[in-house]
Amino acid sequence: MAVAVLVTGSATYVLVGEITGPYIGLVAAVVSLVSTALFAICVPARPAWLALKLPVAVLCVLPTLVLITLAPLVANTKVTPILEQGCPTGYVAVEPTAGSGSFIGIRRGLYVERVRDVAAPNFQRPFATGDYVAVSHENLVHVTYADRTTSLATLAVTRQAPCP
């Protein structure tokens, strides 16, 4: 899975459930660094190799601590399906922790293809908080704030079957 994170382009992102590609990559890096450190510490070695074991373990533990410190920034990304009157439109909103870099994308299996960037003022996350309205009209889905004063996006309808 970490390989998929590294090879995706700038317009396509890995998404497994609601877990985003950067978080998958972060977890994979932490697991690999911890396993290497444990290997260096736990595997019996001759005394001549002890001088190499400690630096390897330290070089694995320090980046792991940095990655664990960064984890809350990556882990709090919210992925919200965009609904029109309770029916899925086929689009999802991906909103990072700080609110910058938010976008609307269309889900294609394990990937989300970026369709439109969304800039919310004051680092708000309107999709995660449900502060939006989606209305379809003539093969378009108009997405606005709940007060319907500011447009967030206009998207092509992707839903194949009508929603009851």
Return the pLDDT at 164. 62
Return the pLDDT at 158. 67
Question: What pairs with residue 92 in β-bridges?
Answer: 81, 105
* All structural domains of the chain with their residue ranges: 2-75, 78-156
Handedness of CA 32, 34, 38, 40 (dihedral sign): positive
Rounded to 5 degrees, what angle do the CA atoms 22, 116, 140 make? Answer: 135
Handedness of CA 42, 46, 47, 52 (dihedral sign): negative
* pLDDT tens, per residue, the chain with 164 residues: 333 443 444 567 777 777 777 778 778 888 888 888 888 778 887 877 778 888 888 888 888 888 788 777 766 778 888 888 888 888 888 887 765 678 888 888 778 888 888 877 777 788 888 888 888 877 788 888 877 777 777 777 666 556 66
The model carries a pTM of 0.68
Q: Are 141 and 134 in contact (CB under 8 A)?
A: yes
Return the pLDDT at 2. 37
Return the pLDDT at 18. 74
Return the pLDDT at 98. 61
The torsion angle over the Cα atoms of residues 124, 107, 9 and 21, rounded to 10 degrees, is 70
One-letter amino acid of 54: L
Return the pLDDT at 130. 83
